[in-house]
Amino acid sequence: MSNANIESFGGLNAKILLGDLEIMHDKDVVMHEQRAGDTQEAALVPVEVVPESRTLDLRRKDLPAAIQEAGAASGFAYEEFLFGHIPNPSTHRAYQAAVNRFLEWLRLREVSLGRVTPRDVGDCLDSLNLAIPSKKLHRAALNHFFDFQVQRHAVVLNPVSSVRNERDQVTEGRTPEITVEQARRMFGSIEGSTVVGLRERAAIAVLAYSGSRIGTVARLRRRDLLYEGDQWVIAFNDKGGKHRKVPVRHDLQRILFAYLEAAGITELDGDLPIFRSSKGKKGALSTVAMTDNDLQRMFKRRLRKAGLPPNRLSPLPGTDGLLPGCDELRRTSGNGI
């Protein structure tokens, strides 16, 4: 086909001829005209053109400087690892903090991501003033992070794979258990005249009765407190995607519903958290959930107020006379604070 035979096609601006393939350009669509012969009709195949505004612009993203310098593939791997691969919010926060801390360490030393060596990783881990388990978490986060960087061809090799963890062996528990008398003493020191005191008493009672992790209790919503048949149950969403329902004993029910009534939390607040953070020192509660760190600090504060060592953050023992029946339940749940 000669240039003299070019015909106008709708609102298209131009047509480029390449042998038997004619490509017609528009602002948003590219039309491919394929001709197999003179007797066969032309087939128009639309192909989307990605506008420049939709391309990956690392400058507009909140990414660390080392990732932006490494390019689009590194930015894609960074977001894929942190936001697409880790569904657990606690793990996501811990891994993101570990990766960003390492990337900031690289920036201060003007080391690009593609030039990181195992020595750099080892020096960074050695510089951390953290316990050995925390260093192991950092190494695990960096190892997974660089695996994704290698898969997306942002770096050639994973420099973390050859870095070994420090050995940390614990033969016995570091935190002694709270005795039954100490548990009674702590509950007796919690005032029941304020909504904050009722909240903290209810939170510790749920921890004592269910043997659940602090993070699991912090994630409880009003919809997780259910009435099934002739009793109330708490539906826990445990670590690892496990789900279990624990019956609410009459004594725990009194403590829990006294707090819910004082806080004004009803069944209509299904998606709102049960244990909510307080608004400063005003004694009122917000609609924001307490985090696991908030519950840990609260637990330690209550221990100090009761005159107990603040480092005794361990599963509560069977609380005879306070919340009977905890021993058997804890043996079946297998979880601790």
Condensed to tens digits (0 to 9), the pLDDT of residues 279-304 reads 877 778 888 989 888 998 888 888 88
Average pLDDT over residues 32-43: 47
Query: Distance between CA 44 and CA 31 in Å, rounded?
Result: 6
Query: Distance between CA 119 and CA 101 in Å, rounded?
Result: 17
Whether this model's pTM surpasses 0.75: no
Tens digits of residue pLDDT in 196-233: 999 999 998 888 888 788 888 988 999 999 998 888 99
The per-residue pLDDT for 174 is 54
The per-residue pLDDT for 77 is 94
Average pLDDT over residues 103-130: 94
> What are the E-state strand segments in 106-255?
225-228, 231-237, 243-247
Residue 318: band (very low, low, confident or very high) from pLDDT cuts 50, 70, 90: very low
Q: What angle do CA 299, 304, 307 make, to 5 degrees?
A: 130
Instruction: Give percent above pLDDT 70 in the chain.
Output: 70
What is the SS3 assignment for 250? Answer: helix
Among 3-12, 49-58, 65-74, 304-313, top mean pLDDT goes to 65-74
What is the SS3 assignment for 96? Answer: helix
Query: Distance between CA 311 and CA 299 in Å, rounded?
Result: 10
- How big is the chain, counted in residues? 337
Higher pLDDT, 33 or 263: 263
Higher pLDDT, 172 or 83: 83
Cα end-to-end distance, the chain, whole Å: 78
Tens digits of residue pLDDT in 136-193: 999 999 999 999 999 999 999 999 999 998 877 665 555 566 677 777 788 888 888 8
Q: What is the largest CA-CA distance in the chain?
A: 100
Q: Is the pLDDT of residue 120 over 60?
A: yes
Half-sphere exposure of 242 (CA within 13 A, CB side): 11
Q: Is the pLDDT of residue 309 over 80?
A: no
Residue 327: band (very low, low, confident or very high) from pLDDT cuts 50, 70, 90: very low
Q: Across the chain, what does the average pLDDT equal?
A: 77
Q: Is the pLDDT of residue 45 over 80?
A: no
